[in-house]
Amino acid sequence: MKSEYPSSQGHLGYHELSLVLTITISARLFLGLPRVMSTIGATASWMAVTIAFITAVAGFFCLDSLLVRFPGSDLIEIAKEVFGDFSFVVGVLLFLFFWAAGALLMRQFAEIFVISILPRTPIGVISGVLLIILIAASYFGIECISRLAMLFGPYICLCFLLVLLLVLPNADFSHLLPFWGSGLTRMALPSLNKSSIFTEIVLLGLWAPLLREPKRRRFIGLAALSISYLIMVISLLIFTAVFDYPGTAKIFFPIYQLTRMINLMAFFQRVEAIFVFLWVFTAAISLATIFYSSAFILARTFSLTTHRPLLFPLAVMTYALSLLPGSITETIGLDNDLLHNYGWILAFFLPLLMLITAVMRRRKGVIGIENP
């Protein structure tokens, strides 16, 4: 018998969920993603992202096939059906990954705020304010977060496109040569590993039963992956054209550096403060999604009827972990070495393993037609 979902979850439309996943996946553009991909692909960082994207799409089809085999169930329920007593491990691993990812991402976004607009404010104060926002959004569940994404998403996209357009006069597209970068053979294996940048697509496997139109689940996943991929490719091309390959490989916060280059005539300089809106709401939506997902996974793992009592202790744990690295360099190193290198195991290999195990054990969910 299926365990009851945590209360106050609501139901999700496919537009809202597609936008939430797109923002959450693409948020890494504000952090170290361009630097990592430039290190792999040199002048062809776009190719490294393309290989990672193709791998992520293949992994998503494994996830989708698993959800088709168990209609109306999420990953935690499927793990209980497939692995039995070992399903606890699946829930704990997913929780630890998203908890750590949320803490490291919060620290990096907090560092952006310190560098850009609040240089004299302690990092702990900014992290605390972010956590208050995350608790408030997570208290009302993913439906609230998805509606916030629908409200602010168009403005985030418009602001981001405006930044890319305004820096085009600084671009030198000869920096994209050689067009194939370090070569396909040299970047193939590292790029496969970097499919972890699309790890958040696995959250679709947790929220699938909450969809109003379950038949659109595959569309949601492919749309989120494809739109995120296009945003990344266009952004990486412009980053490389503006900063060149060695410059992109050394920049920690590329979007902030782009905004500093915007010069609107002689009287309008240092306009990066105008674009604070861009990373504030991007950070709020992406971090709220990951923070809520951590509490949601924990509640599902222990069959709790609500995730709300978990929010405050989880916030304290997240705050402590975010301040544990001694510097921003150490934070970025942990993010790249752990999450970027091993996220694919949980996002793509785990669903594949569950699917293979279900087929071998001839386990299948209740046969029926998903509600339209």
- For the chain, give the percent of residues with pLDDT over 90: 39
Structure tokens given for 210: 């909450």
- What band does 245 get if pLDDT is binned at 50, 70 and 90? confident
Least confident of 26-30, 46-50, 367-371: 367-371
Judge whether 173 and 241 are in contact, CB under 8 Å: yes
User: Residue 268: its pLDDT value, please?
Assistant: 60
pTM of the model: 0.90
Cβ atoms < 10 Å from Cβ of 71:
17
Dihedral sign, Cα of residue 241, residue 243, residue 244, residue 250: negative
Kindly report the average pLDDT of the chain as a whole number: 86
Tell whether the model's pLDDT for residue 350 goes beyond 60. yes
* Axis crossing angle, helix 45-69 with helix 184-193, rounded to the nearest 10: 40
pLDDT digits (tens, 9 = 90+) for 182-226: 778 888 888 888 899 999 999 999 998 888 888 889 999 999 999
DSSP string computed for 62-95: HHHHHHHHSTT--HHHHHHHHHGGGHHHHHHHHH
- What band does 343 get if pLDDT is binned at 50, 70 and 90? confident
CA dihedral of residues 28, 333, 109, 161 (deg, nearest 10): -30
User: Residue 8: its pLDDT value, please?
Assistant: 45
Distance, in Å, from the CA atom of 89 to the CA atom of 317, rounded to the nearest integer, reads 20
CA dihedral of residues 58, 63, 66, 68 (deg, nearest 10): -90
CATH of domain 14-360: 1.20.1740.10
- What band does 269 get if pLDDT is binned at 50, 70 and 90? low
| Residue 204 CB burial class (10 angstroms; 0-12, 13-18, ≥19) | buried
Distance, in Å, from the CA atom of 139 to the CA atom of 201, rounded to the nearest integer, reads 22
- For the chain, give the percent of residues with pLDDT over 70: 92
Cβ atoms < 10 Å from Cβ of 180:
13
User: Residue 367: its pLDDT value, please?
Assistant: 41
- What band does 365 get if pLDDT is binned at 50, 70 and 90? low
pLDDT digits (tens, 9 = 90+) for 272-310: 667 777 778 888 899 999 999 999 999 999 888 889 999
Summarize the confidence of residues 243-249 as an average pLDDT: 83
- What band does 265 get if pLDDT is binned at 50, 70 and 90? low
